[in-house]
């Protein structure tokens, strides 16, 4: 690797590093960068990653503006480099607890999308079938007029809001107040429904309340890390760097990986289980069976802190490894081996993500992982914790602010005292906050729009025309004449093309706000540059709407009393007071210049809280809990009296679940299982990462992964153009032959369709390329999260490769099984970033146990 010509002056600014020179690394070819090994119970050394645009020297940077990353849930802290009012680069923040200076490839290069020439700069309205530019007054008038008509003629339930996991806390809170108390609709949810609804639900089921028990610092202390359906190497690359550093240090952890694909995690695991998709509950029940059978459980912890153990023990009594081996198609010996590793762990850390949350029996499976920790007493101690992960950068805020299907502050919609308390915070009558039924979930919102009871749908910060299942249906819903669709985005997305009004939004770097990551760490992102044209922060748009609608509290004063991000944050603090996500000890000033802070942060915990449940379970008592629980099989909500008799003292609830077969299983016409997911270099529907050349070129188009034996049986090879079909639709892409489990196909869901009108491919009626053309409208009964990870599919040849290869990265889970099948993924000179290691107050070998 050559040195990137970094000057001494640059080093100064980068890492307070007087001793070492920065190293220049191609971070497309080498996504995780260089190693900084460290020993167990030591703190993770600092490594500051910096990327400046071509031709920009460090000493030319005029301002570094503090922010946190927005292309995953890790919350990596960074500074944005500014020259003459333009963003010119980024560097990681050495002093932050989350990343200690490191950045992943998406964050090193993704910022370039902000300056894309095709950003939306003016509002658009539909006139004579076409979207035409207009001014803000015209666009907002149209929205307000329709809102008034609808609420008068059809009531508040005719309006729905579908938001994001990518705006800021202040924006969600404002939206929640205006939707729930201003309009008075309960149809408000986020795309977090597709993302981490199961994380929230599993926490509610086990602990009575949302709130991540563990901390990223647990990575430093665990002796076993178990990853369930979580490709952390690609989806949280910075925490994977941390694991890689521990794997190369003293007393490394053993990894257990449950994933049907040959991810980098799988390749480094002590035990890799590659189950049939959709069989997580069977596998977990067998693991629990073995651990209980061999009595590697913490009887004292179970007695002191849980209810329901007996039911679990009897439920898994017959779930032997042999039984699960047949269901999951995993060797019984491997299941027993995994149970040994988990059962012998001294400090076990588990992480859970979409291979569980978007798969069959999502909540039931996620809850069994909580159970594993409860019966082993692996909670609330350093290294012993569970991370029911988030995916999006601010999904946690969507949940806590009540912009998803929950009430703000993790209040319980079935508890009248909680509703009354919220009404007091907002100075409205409790009856004006809809709570006669659970807040509507996103899949139901789209169903209501399809059926005609919702007549206006306001979509902010999400691209459902690519990301929801069964796209042909989604297009037909959004295209209806009777549905008034508002889309608030940066670009003219597939969804924006179907809108009646499009509002140009400012984004990260162009506005100020707070985001909370997957381990409850709160970061502030400050505005670094002006948004393009007339684009406005989402907060300003929501405030403008609230002002035009003239929403009032019960005394006739304005319902929403704030006008800027900081005041919105202060208002939210009042709403969070006394609840688990208590922000009252945090201010913008406290977040500036320092590391992020983990909530709850209040008078009792002025520096924040590393781990929840260090001293027993605190938010499960019937009077304070967010939820009384649900039946995991049907999703029916339990009644308060049932919960009170089940769990009078507010302990953790151990909920057992029987394995049920997936709804759609392979047959003669659709002999494969199909799963969908991510690659390291792209984010979701690629509105940002496709506009960063380094990222785009690393994975420029869709592909299909199949196993060696399946490819051979069908006479297929690398690069063949293939068609994947399900009962819903089909897509085409080039084949990549990998070590994926036989019988399973994988398609990344990042690639939108080519033809907005039809969803078809470039050549007329040919199938498109979006994974969600094929996925099913079906969801987990408890969390209502759609099932993107289990479908039955066919695979057929369209055209042989003729020397081409799949446009899939070779550095990741999509690596070809034959190394010479495709040229290696590299970024070259355009993809160099600097890494600076050395002293900072996080190193020095201090024991932080
Ligand atoms: N590079 C990148 N990073 C991201 C994102 C991105 O788009 N790109 N998005 C962010 C967001 S919003 C999210 S939600 C997260 C998601 O992060 P992850 O959950 O890590 O990503 P996925 O690729 O969706 O799924 C993870 C794994 O689940 C496995 N899997 C599929 N079916 C099953 C099953 O039935 N059982 C088991 N055990 N495993 C199964 C797949 O093989 C896949 O490797 O990533 C975040 N980070
Ligand atoms: N088949 C399949 N489908 C999936 C998944 C899967 O694994 N498989 N995963 C699901 C998951 S976990 C997720 S999280 C979803 C993600 O699905 P989406 O949320 O639809 O994906 P994004 O591309 O992130 O869309 C975010 C949109 O917000 C815009 N945006 C970015 N920043 C801002 C901002 O500050 N303000 C505004 N107003 N707009 C902004 C972006 O340009 C983009 O259009 O996809 C889900 N769909
Ligand atoms: Mo997500």
- Ligand closest to the CA atom of residue 162: 2
Cα 676 to averaged position of ligand 2 atoms, centre (Å): 15
Q: Which residues pair with 725 in a beta bridge?
A: 730, 794
C-alpha radius of gyration, the chain, whole number: 25
Q: Is the pLDDT of residue 54 over 70?
A: yes
Q: Which residue has the tokens 């963003």?
A: 87
What is the model's pLDDT at position 763?
65
pLDDT digits (tens, 9 = 90+) for 605-628: 999 999 999 999 999 999 999 999
Looking at every residue in the chain, the average pLDDT score rounds to 94
Task: Judge whether residue 849 has pLDDT over 80.
Answer: no
* For ion ligand 3, residues whose CB falls within 5 Å: 195, 391
Percent of the chain with pLDDT strictly greater than 70? 95
Distance 194 CA to ligand 3 centre (A): 6
CATH for 153-196+394-578?
Answer: 3.40.50.740
Q: How confident is the model at residue 787 (pLDDT cuts 50, 70, 90)?
A: very high
Question: pLDDT value at position 401?
Answer: 97
Average pLDDT of the residues in 508-517: 98
Q: What is the pLDDT of residues 312-321, one digit of tens each?
A: 999 999 999 9
Ligand 2: centre distance to CA 729 (Å): 21
CATH homologous superfamily of 197-389+619-653: Dimethylsulfoxide Reductase, domain 2 (3.40.228.10)
Of 46, 43, 117, 108, the residue nearest 72 (C-alpha): 108
Q: Is the distance from the beta carbon of residue 392 to the nearest atom of ligand 1 less than 6 Å?
A: yes
Looking at residue 405, its pLDDT comes to 83
Q: Are the C-beta atoms of residues 226 and 349 closer than 8 Å to each other?
A: yes
Task: For residue range 544-570, list pLDDT tens digits in order.
Answer: 999 999 999 999 999 999 999 999 999
Q: What is the pLDDT of residues 288-330, one digit of tens each?
A: 999 999 999 999 999 999 999 999 999 999 999 999 999 999 9
* pLDDT tens readout for residues 710-761: 999 999 999 999 999 999 999 999 999 999 999 999 999 999 987 666 667 6
Give the tens place of pLDDT for each residue, 649-659.
Answer: 999 999 999 99
pLDDT at residue 487 above 50?
yes
Flag whether pLDDT at 3 surpasses 90.
Answer: no
Query: What are the tens digits of pLDDT across the range 91-108?
Result: 999 999 999 999 999 999
Ligand 1 mean position to 478 CA, how many Å? Answer: 27
Pocket-forming residues, ligand 2, beta carbon under 6 Å: 164-167, 191, 194-195, 354, 358, 391-392, 460-464, 466-467, 488-491, 493, 505, 507, 538, 676-677, 684-685, 687, 749, 771-772, 775, 788
- Partners of 522 in beta bridges: 516, 597
Which tens digit of pLDDT belongs to each residue from 106-124? 999 999 999 999 999 999 9
pLDDT reported for residue 16: 32
At residue 847 the predicted structure's pLDDT band, cuts being 50, 70 and 90, is very low
User: Can you tell me which atom of ligand 1 is nearest the CA of 357?
Assistant: 19
Average pLDDT over residues 192-209: 98
Q: What is the pLDDT of residue 531?
A: 98
Atom of ligand 2 nearest to the CA of 678: 7
pLDDT for 762: 65
Residue 146 beta carbon below 6 angstroms from any ligand 1 atom? no
Residue 838 confidence (pLDDT): 78
Q: What is the predicted pLDDT for the residue at 20?
A: 46
Query: Which of 579, 501, 483, 600 lies closest to 545, judged by CA?
Result: 501
Q: What is the mean pLDDT of residues 213-238?
A: 98
**Which pLDDT band, with edges at 50, 70 and 90, does 1 fall under?**
very low
- Report the nearest-CA residue for atom 17 of ligand 1: 235
> What integer is the mean pLDDT of 679-690?
97
**How confident is the model at residue 764, as a pLDDT?**
67
Q: Burial code of 6-29, b = ≥16 C-beta within 10 A, e = fewer?
A: beeebbebbbbbeeeebbbbbbbb
Confidence of residue 766 (pLDDT cuts 50, 70, 90): confident
Q: In what order do the strands lie in the sheet with 385-388?
A: 271-273, 254-258, 224-228, 348-352, 385-388
Distance 556 CA to ligand 2 centre (A): 38
Residue 14, pLDDT > 70, answer no
Q: Is pLDDT above 50 for 513?
A: yes
> Would you state the pLDDT for residue 839?
54
The mean per-residue pLDDT over the stretch 528-540 comes to 98
Average pLDDT over residues 576-587: 98
What ligand has the least distance to the C-alpha of 747? 2
Give dist(CA 455, CA 468) in Å, integer. Answer: 19
Q: What is the pLDDT of residue 436?
A: 82
Higher pLDDT, 344 or 437: 344
Assign a CATH topology to domain 672-817.
Answer: Barwin-like endoglucanases (2.40.40)
CB atoms within 10 A of CB 722: 23
Average pLDDT on 368-387 reads: 98
User: Would you say residue 57 has pLDDT above 70?
Assistant: yes
What confidence tens digit (pLDDT) does each residue in 132-181 have?
999 999 999 999 999 999 999 999 999 999 999 999 999 999 999 999 99
Q: What is the pLDDT of residue 765?
A: 73
Q: What is the pLDDT of residue 435?
A: 86
Nearest-5° angle of CA 724, CA 728, CA 733? Answer: 25
| Contacting residues for 756 by C-beta, under 8 A, at least 6 apart | 494, 497, 498
**Averaged pLDDT for residues 61-84:** 97
**What distance in Å separates the CA atoms of residue 645 and residue 100, rounded to the nearest whole number?**
46
The answer, yes or no, to whether residue 19 has pLDDT greater than 70, is no
7 vs 189, which has greater pLDDT?
189
Query: How is residue 479 written in tokens?
Result: 């295209």
Instruction: For residue 59, give the DSSP letter.
Output: G
Average pLDDT over residues 267-285: 98
Evaluate if residue 344 carries a pLDDT over 60: yes
CA of 269 to the centre of ligand 1 (A): 17
Residue-range domain boundaries for the chain? 3-103+832-837, 153-196+394-578, 197-389+619-653, 672-817
**Residue 489's pLDDT is what?**
98
């Amino acid at each position: 690797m050559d040195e990137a010509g970094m000057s001494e002056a640059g080093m100064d600014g980068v890492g307070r590093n007087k001793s070492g020179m920065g190293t220049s690394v191609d971070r497309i070819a080498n996504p995780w960068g260089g190693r900084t090994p460290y020993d167990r119970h030591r703190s993770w050394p600092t490594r500051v990653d910096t990327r400046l645009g071509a031709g920009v020297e460090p000493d030319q940077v005029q301002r570094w503006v503090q922010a946190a990353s927005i292309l995953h849930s890790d919350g990596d802290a960074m500074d944005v480099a500014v020259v003459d009012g333009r963003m010119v680069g980024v560097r990681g923040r050495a002093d932050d607890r989350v990343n200690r200076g490191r950045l992943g490839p998406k964050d090193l290069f993704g910022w370039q999308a902000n300056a894309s020439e095709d950003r939306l700069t003016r509002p658009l309205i539909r006139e004579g079938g076409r979207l035409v530019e207009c001014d803000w007054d015209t666009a907002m008038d149209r929205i307000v007029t329709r809102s008034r008509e609808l609420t008068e003629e059809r009531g508040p339930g005719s309006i729905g809001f579908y938001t994001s996991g990518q705006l800021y806390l202040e924006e969600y809170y404002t939206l929640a107040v205006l939707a729930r108390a201003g309009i008075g609709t309960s149809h408000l949810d986020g795309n977090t429904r597709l993302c981490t609804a199961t994380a929230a639900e599993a926490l509610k089921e086990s602990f009575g309340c949302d709130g991540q028990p563990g901390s990223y610092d647990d990575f430093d202390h665990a002796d076993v890390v178990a990853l369930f359906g979580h490709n952390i190497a690609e989806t949280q690359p910075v925490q994977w760097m941390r694991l890689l550093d521990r794997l190369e240090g003293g007393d490394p952890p053993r990894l257990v990986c449950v994933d049907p694909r040959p991810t980098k995690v799988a390749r480094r695991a002590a035990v890799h289980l590659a189950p049939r998709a959709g069989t997580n509950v069977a596998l977990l029940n067998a693991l629990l069976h073995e651990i209980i059978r061999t009595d590697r459980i913490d009887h004292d912890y179970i007695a002191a802190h849980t209810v329901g153990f007996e039911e679990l023990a009897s439920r898994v009594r017959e779930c032997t490894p042999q039984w699960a081996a047949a269901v999951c198609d995993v060797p019984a010996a491997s299941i027993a081996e995994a149970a040994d590793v988990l059962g012998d762990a001294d400090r076990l850390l588990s992480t859970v993500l979409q291979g569980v949350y978007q798969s069959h029996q999502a909540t039931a499976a996620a809850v069994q992982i909580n159970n594993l920790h409860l019966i082993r007493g692996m909670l609330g101690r350093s290294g012993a914790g569970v991370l029911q992960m988030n995916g999006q950068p601010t999904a946690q805020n969507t949940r806590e602010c009540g912009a998803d299907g929950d009430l703000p502050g993790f209040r319980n919609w079935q508890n009248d005292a909680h509703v009354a308390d919220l009404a007091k915070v907002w100075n409205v009558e409790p009856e004006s906050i809809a709570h006669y039924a659970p807040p509507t979930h996103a899949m139901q919102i789209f169903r209501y729009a399809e059926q005609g009871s919702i007549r206006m749908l306001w979509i902010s910060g999400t691209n459902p025309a690519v990301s929801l299942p069964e796209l042909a249906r989604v297009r037909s819903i959004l295209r209806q004449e009777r549905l008034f669709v508002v889309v608030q985005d940066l670009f003219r997305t597939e969804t924006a093309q179907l809108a009646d009004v499009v509002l140009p939004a400012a984004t990260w770097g162009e506005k100020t706000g707070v985001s909370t990551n997957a381990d409850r760490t709160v970061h502030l992102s400050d505005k670094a540059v002006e948004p393009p044209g007339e684009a406005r922060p989402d907060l300003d748009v929501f405030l403008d709407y609230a002002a035009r609608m003239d929403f009032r509290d019960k005394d006739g004063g304005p319902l929403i009393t704030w006008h800027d991000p900081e005041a919105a944050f202060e208002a939210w603090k009042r709403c969070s007071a006394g609840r688990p996500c208590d922000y009252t000890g945090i201010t913008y000033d406290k977040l500036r210049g320092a590391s992020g802070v983990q909530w709850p942060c209040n008078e009792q915990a002025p520096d924040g809280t590393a781990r929840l449940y260090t001293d027993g379970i605190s938010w499960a008592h019937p009077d304070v809990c967010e939820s009384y629980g649900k039946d995991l099989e049907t999703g029916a909500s339990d009644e308060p009296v049932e919960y009170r008799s089940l769990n009078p003292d507010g302990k953790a609830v151990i909920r057992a679940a029987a394995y049920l077969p997936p709804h759609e299983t392979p047959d003669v016409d659709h002999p494969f299982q199909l799963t969908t997911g991510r690659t390291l270099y792209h984010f979701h529907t690629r509105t940002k990462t496709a506009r960063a050349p380094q990222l785009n070129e690393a994975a420029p188009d869709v592909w299909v992964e199949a196993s060696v034996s399946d490819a051979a049986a069908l006479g297929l090879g690398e690069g063949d153009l293939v068609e994947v079909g399900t009962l819903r639709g089909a897509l085409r892409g080039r084949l990549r032959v990998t070590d994926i489990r036989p019988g399973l196909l994988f398609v990344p869901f990042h690639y939108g369709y080519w033809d907005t009108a039809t969803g078809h491919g470039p050549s007329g009626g040919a199938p498109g390329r979006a994974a969600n053309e094929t996925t099913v409208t079906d969801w987990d009964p408890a969390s209502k999260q759609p099932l993107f990870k289990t479908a039955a599919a066919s695979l057929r040849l369209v055209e042989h490769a003729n020397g081409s290869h799949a446009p899939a990265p070779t550095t990741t889970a999509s690596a070809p099984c034959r190394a010479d099948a495709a040229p290696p993924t590299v970024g070259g000179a355009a993809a160099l970033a600097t890494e600076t290691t050395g002293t900072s107050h996080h190193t020095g070998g201090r024991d932080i146990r």
